[in-house]
Amino acid sequence: MSDLAIARRRMMTGPATIAVLAVLAVFVILFLAGVGFGSTWIPLDTVTSVLLGGGERTDRLVVLQLRLPRVLAAAIAGGAIAYAGYLLQRITRNELASPGVLGVVDGAALGVVLFLAIFSNESNALTVPVAWQPLAAALGAMTAIALVFLLAGRQASSAIRLILFGIAIAAVAKALTTIFMLIGPIYQAAQAARWLAGAVNTINWSEVQIMLTVLVPVGIVAGIAARHLPPADLDDVSSRSIGLNLPVYRIIMFLLAALLTAGAVAFAGGVGFVGLIAPHMARLLVGRGRVAGVVMSILLGAIILMGADLLIRVAFAPLEVPAGTVTAIIGAPYFLYLLMRKDSTNG
Amino acid sequence: MVESMSGGVRAASSRWPIYVALALGLGVAMLASLTLGYKLYGLDEVWMALFAHDGSETATVIAGLRLPRALIAPLAGAALGMAGVMVQTLSRNRIASPDTLGLNAGASMAVVLATVVFGVGSLAGLSLAAALGALLTSIIVFGVAAGAGGLSPLKIVLVGVTFAGLAHAVVEIVLTSNEAQLQQLLFWLSGAFVDRPISLFFNGLPVVLVGATLAFALTAALDALQADDATAASLGVPLLAVRGLTFVAVSLLTGAAVSMAGPVAFVGLVVPHAARGLVGLRHRHQLAAAALVGAIYTTLADVAARFVIYPVEAPVGAITAVVGAATLVLLLMRRLA
Amino acid sequence: MDDQVASRIEVKALSLSYGSEVVLDALSLPIPSGQITVLAGPNGCGKSTLLRAIRRLHAPQSGQVLLDAEDIAKLNGKALGRRIGLLAQSPSAPQDMTVEELVRLGRYPHQAMMQPWGAGDNAAVAAAMAGTGVADMRQRRIGSLSGGQLQRAWIAMVLAQETDVICLDEPVNHLDMAHQLDCLELVTRLNKEQGRTIVLVLHDLNLAARYADQLVFVANGKVRERGAPEAMMRSDLIEEVFNVTAEIIIDPVHKRPICIPHRRG
């Protein structure tokens, strides 16, 4: 391949750039609409002016304190999980991999339930600020990841083995979660169940800031690491022969994907399905280029979760159906359809 | 019969002592299920309650509460054990099980939907729903996994886990919109033998028997299926028909178990390994041993469930999940699977 | 030359395609009874597919395979399995299966609902294991066997089927010289001592020439030529089919032709 062709392959190709810009436009519109929608509809231009620093005080209050955190959280969580999903699918060379299979989500759930169980008093009220919940979730997620990698040991570079360890840890976490939900009061159970299914409605501004502080650095590190991703069609042995230390690299990528997932899930609950669908759709739209793939996956993930959240607010109010559930219901048939197509990567 | 690891030799001796030992073990387990629990009963009280009921509270508890679980637990365990053997053979993968293939989740989703959405109340209806759910799930999971790119262990596991996630999501939607039933459904969703009417046992028994009969009729073909497709086909095995019938058998057995006790985790994963270790790979023996081992396992787990967080009952599925996960981890670490 | 010997199997104008790719192109070939027929040809010529089609692992688009003048498409799977056995190219079975359990699989075509395992089955398994020299390994797990031992175990499985026709798809590719010899000598014994019809796909042309009664060159999905090895091993023919220039000499031990390729094209 000529130098120019190689360079062009690294950057985004023309059609891919157009697709990204188009999706970016959808993202912006959805974002503004998501902020605008609520008990009172705030027109998009007002939203824009508030975001840019102007607008009236009441509008500013509603937008910045009430609406923005939720939409922003959905966007960030969706983007992070989609990113994790992209990395996982590329490194396992299998488009069926999703962040949910590593046991991270169930570990986070256990963390939440334990937090609720430990820090509730007799009258079912929390004795510490609920702001600590995401930390509990994150701790649970990280413990799960650590356990999975510890147990897998040298087998961690094999996708199926890692996933199987993840299944085992997830099962234990699920079992313990259920036990704690049962021996605790119903308040916790309902609360935990809702969290488990993925909900961004209780997020506030400070939590969003924490999300950004955690996820952006990880995302950047992952981006740097992703530059070494072997081309999608290259097998293991060939990859190794071009100088890539595959087992170590794989473990690092798994870890980064798990961190991204933990960060997203700690705040938004069980939204793992987004990490399965978004990278797929990204590949459909922009092909196999890495830069385009990452950017598109993140955008699509954000769009999916924001869209699901908006859909719930529009269609299901006042019932708080968890966003993760909606993405799962909508995403699953799409996922199945994707799989039945003939041109998948090697399994 | 001892299996020596060195030189990979398996001593060939009659298997009858094993079956006798297992049957005895089952008897002991069932007795334990009748006598041990929140209150401890003696063997004489059990005898009286079963054969000379005198209307006393003791007799009522034993006959009305303990007996159903002492019957349902082994039946569900046997069904899941046999289903596990067939799933592992079919997917040529020792890590596969009705759980990891999403069958349990699919069956529970069907039951939850049937109960809450369609208002199905009859036991027969729920059993049917569970079996249908398992059958549909197995078709979808195998169909999707076998699609583009061909069947591979990784693919089956991924599709199964994802499908299970989907089924759980559906169940969660139902749960969050039915908070009153949340507690009850939650318990059932982890698998439980407690508080089950004995009619469930009599309802599940014929289904299990049909499934088991079908399974035993397929043993020769299942043996051949352990080899690769080309070899099995050259032996004359009608691959599609055998796989289809095996799906049906697995669905009947899983469906029966789930309708009786909810999705009891990992039984179908762990039990086949133990069965193979005891009696070898011939399916006539694998199935029989798995039925007995499965029955013993779930019965003992049910007894343990009474004491783990005494005095509260733990869902037996939580126990089998922990044991099963530990076993899975061990199998993986020792590269036995 | 072999038209005097009755054909056990007759392949008639067999055409087979994978999608749009034509693999077998109206191929015709008689397989003489009681002889060793070896299919040889360059990569992708269709020889493995032909072997599998003979055992009906693939359904052809057109044409027939006749077994004793019967169309195999009309026979049921088990019946066919009692008459034609196939050792696939890379067979696999669980590593913890014992040799005996593996050989027993070969009895599948003989088992029926009303005819469970009997003395005849035991005898067949014992004879198969004895014939391949694996009887003393019967309780060993196949995962613990060497390549040569494993191949013998698989051949024992095919033998247990008690078929008159045995097909083997590249049975010695991955074996070292000693085991290659073992395996092919075994196959020859089955042919000479028990009169079984053997169809082999072999990659190594010299081995093919050494063991074949009928040597068949397959190219582009058709039979380019067939005949006795002496007639087939000619420089011009080999150059055309295999795309190499080769010198032909006579192997002093087996008195069969061998070729020495020394230039491409």
pLDDT tens, residue by residue, A33-92: 888 777 777 777 777 777 777 777 777 777 777 778 888 888 898 899 899 989 888 877
Which residues of chain B lie closer than 8 angstroms to A101, CB-CB? 158, 161-162
**C86: three-class secondary structure by DSSP:** strand
Side-chain half-sphere of C205: how many Cα atoms within 13 Å? 26
**How far off is chain C from B249, nearest CA to CA, in Å?**
17
Count of CB pairs separated by less than 8 Å, A with B: 172
Chains with 3 or more CB pairs under 8 A to chain B: A, C
Cβ <8 Å between A96 and B155: yes
Cβ <8 Å between B235 and C105: yes
Exposed e or buried b for every residue in B97-136, given b needs 16+ CB within 10 A? bbbbbbbbbbbbbbbbbbbbeeebeebebbbbbbbbbbbb
Model confidence at C175: pLDDT above 50? yes
Q: Tokens at residue A280, please?
A: 């797929």
Kindly tell me the number of DSSP H helices and DSSP E strands found in chain B: 15, 0
Q: Does residue A345 lie within any of the structural domains?
A: no
- Most confident by average pLDDT, A166-175, A303-312, B225-234, B314-323: B225-234
State how far the Cα of A261 lies from the Cα of A99, in Å rounded to an integer. Answer: 6
User: Residue ranges of the domains in chain B?
Assistant: 76-333
Packed helices B179-189 and B103-112: angle between N→C axes, nearest 10 degrees = 150
Which residues of chain B lie closer than 8 angstroms to A193, CB-CB? 172, 175-176, 182, 186
User: Are A275 and A88 a contacting pair, CB within 8 Å?
Assistant: yes
Can you spell out the DSSP letters for C173-221? TTS-HHHHHHHHHHHHHHHHHH--EEEEE-S-HHHHHHH-SEEEEEETT
Task: Tell me which residues of chain B have a pLDDT lower than 50.
Answer: 1-12
State how far the Cα of B309 lies from the Cα of B326, in Å rounded to an integer. Answer: 19
Cβ <8 Å between B186 and A178: yes
Regarding chains B and A, contact by 3 or more CB pairs under 8 A is answered as yes
What's the pLDDT at A117?
78
Regarding chains A and C, contact by 3 or more CB pairs under 8 A is answered as no
Q: In the 8-state DSSP scheme, what is residue A270?
A: S
* Candidates A164, A186, A201, partner chain B, best to mutate (most B CBs within 10 A): A164
Model confidence at A221: pLDDT above 50? yes
**How far off is chain B from C207, nearest CA to CA, in Å?**
25
What's the pLDDT at A341?
62
Cβ <8 Å between B231 and C88: yes
Which residues of chain B lie closer than 8 angstroms to C141, CB-CB? 8-10
Q: Does residue A182 lie within any of the structural domains?
A: yes
Which residues of chain C lie closer than 8 angstroms to B223, CB-CB? 101, 104-105, 108
The closest of B211, B235, B228, B223 to B82, measured between CA atoms, is B211
What's the pLDDT at A346?
35
Which residues, at least 6 apart from C122, have a Cβ–Cβ distance to it below 8 Å? none
The separation between the first and the last C-alpha atoms of chain B, rounded to the nearest angstrom, is: 22
What's the pLDDT at C122?
93
A102-155 confidence digits (pLDDT tens) = 788 888 888 888 887 777 766 556 667 666 777 788 888 888 888 888 887 777
State how far the Cα of B290 lies from the Cα of B277, in Å rounded to an integer. Answer: 10
Q: Does A271 touch chain B (CB under 8 A)?
A: no
Q: Does B20 touch chain A (CB under 8 A)?
A: no
Q: Does B166 touch chain A (CB under 8 A)?
A: yes
User: Are A282 and A288 a contacting pair, CB within 8 Å?
Assistant: no
User: Are A27 and A299 a contacting pair, CB within 8 Å?
Assistant: yes
What's the pLDDT at A342?
45
**Among candidates A92, A94, A190 on the partner chain, residue whose Cβ is nearest the Cβ of B182:** A190
Q: Which domains does chain C have, with CATH numbers?
A: 1-83+164-234 (3.40.50.300), 93-162 (no CATH)
**C180: three-class secondary structure by DSSP:** helix
What's the pLDDT at C79?
92
Q: Look up residue C91 and give its amino acid.
A: P
**What distances in angstroms separate CA A287 from CA A282, C237, C261, one per listed residue?**
7, 47, 46
User: Are C57 and C86 a contacting pair, CB within 8 Å?
Assistant: yes
The closest of A82, A117, A38 to A317, measured between CA atoms, is A38
Which residues of chain B lie closer than 8 angstroms to A276, CB-CB? 162
Q: Which has the minimum average pLDDT: A150-164, A170-184, C122-136?
A: A150-164
User: Are B263 and B108 a contacting pair, CB within 8 Å?
Assistant: yes
Which residues of chain B lie closer than 8 angstroms to A160, CB-CB? 153-154, 157
Q: Which has the minimum average pLDDT: A337-346, C84-93, C127-136, C255-264?
A: A337-346
User: Are B105 and B136 a contacting pair, CB within 8 Å?
Assistant: no
Cβ <8 Å between C80 and B235: no
Model confidence at C109: pLDDT above 80? yes
- Percent of chain A residues past pLDDT 70, beyond the cut: 75
Q: Tokens at residue A218, please?
A: 């990880």
Model confidence at A195, pLDDT cuts 50, 70, 90, reads low
Model confidence at A20: pLDDT above 90? no
E strand or H helix at C263, and its extent? strand C257-264
The closest of A284, A340, A331 to B145, measured between CA atoms, is A340
Model confidence at C258: pLDDT above 90? yes
What total of structural domains would you count in chain A?
Answer: 1
* Candidates C90, C105, C154, partner chain B, best to mutate (most B CBs within 10 A): C105
User: Are B138 and B247 a contacting pair, CB within 8 Å?
Assistant: yes
User: Are C186 and C132 a contacting pair, CB within 8 Å?
Assistant: yes
Which residues of chain B lie closer than 8 angstroms to A321, CB-CB? 173, 176-177
Q: In the 8-state DSSP scheme, what is residue A203?
A: -
* Candidates A339, A343, A344, partner chain B, best to mutate (most B CBs within 10 A): A339
**How far off is chain B from A346, nearest CA to CA, in Å?**
6
Q: Tokens at residue C168, please?
A: 């083997």
User: Are C203 and C171 a contacting pair, CB within 8 Å?
Assistant: no
Give the total residue count for chain C: 265
Q: Look up residue A162 and give its amino acid.
A: L
User: Are C81 and C109 a contacting pair, CB within 8 Å?
Assistant: yes
Q: Does B149 touch chain A (CB under 8 A)?
A: yes
**How far off is chain C from B231, nearest CA to CA, in Å?**
6
**How far off is chain B from C80, nearest CA to CA, in Å?**
7
**How far off is chain C from B294, nearest CA to CA, in Å?**
22
C210-232 confidence digits (pLDDT tens) = 999 999 999 999 999 999 999 99
Q: Does residue A346 lie within any of the structural domains?
A: no
Instruction: Note the CATH number of domain B76-333.
Output: 1.10.3470.10
Cβ <8 Å between B150 and A324: no
Beta bridge partners of B23: none
Cβ <8 Å between A175 and B322: yes
Q: In the 8-state DSSP scheme, what is residue A43?
A: P
Q: Does residue A43 lie within any of the structural domains?
A: yes
**B140: three-class secondary structure by DSSP:** helix
Beta bridge partners of C112: C115
Which residues of chain A lie closer than 8 angstroms to B182, CB-CB? 186, 189-190, 193
Q: Does B182 touch chain A (CB under 8 A)?
A: yes
Which residues, at least 6 apart from A226, have a Cβ–Cβ distance to it below 8 Å? A87, A90, A253, A290, A294
The domain containing residue A162 runs over which residues? 3-340
Which residues of chain B lie closer than 8 angstroms to A194, CB-CB? 176
Cα torsion B84, B88, B91, B94 to 10°: value is 130
Which 306-335 residues of chain A touch chain B by CB within 8 A?
319-322, 324-325, 328-329, 332, 335
Chains with 3 or more CB pairs under 8 A to chain C: B
What's the pLDDT at A9?
52
User: Are A102 and A181 a contacting pair, CB within 8 Å?
Assistant: no
Kindly tell me the number of DSSP H helices and DSSP E strands found in chain A: 15, 0
Closest chain A residue to B327 measured between Cα atoms?
Answer: A168
Can you spell out the DSSP letters for B22-72? HHHHHHHHHHHHHH-SSS---HHHHHHHHHS--S-HHHHIIIIIIHHHHHH
Proportion of chain B in helix, strand, coil states, percent, rounded to 5: 75, 0, 25
Q: Tokens at residue C78, please?
A: 């088990």
Which residues of chain B lie closer than 8 angstroms to C111, CB-CB? 220
Cβ <8 Å between B228 and C96: no
Model confidence at A13, pLDDT cuts 50, 70, 90, reads low
Which residues, at least 6 apart from B63, have a Cβ–Cβ distance to it below 8 Å? B49, B50, B53
Q: How open is the CA angle B215-B221-B227, to the nearest 5 degrees? A: 125
**A189: three-class secondary structure by DSSP:** helix
pLDDT mean across residues, chain A: 76
User: Are A299 and A79 a contacting pair, CB within 8 Å?
Assistant: yes
Model confidence at A3: pLDDT above 60? no
What's the pLDDT at C38?
96
Model confidence at A4: pLDDT above 80? no
- Please say whether the dihedral angle defined by the alpha carbons of residues C91, C92, C95 and C101, taken in this order, is positive or negative: negative
What's the pLDDT at A44?
76
As a whole number, mean pLDDT of residues A179-203 equals 66
State how far the Cα of B96 lies from the Cα of C220, in Å rounded to an integer. Answer: 42
> What's the CATH code of the domain at A220?
1.10.3470.10
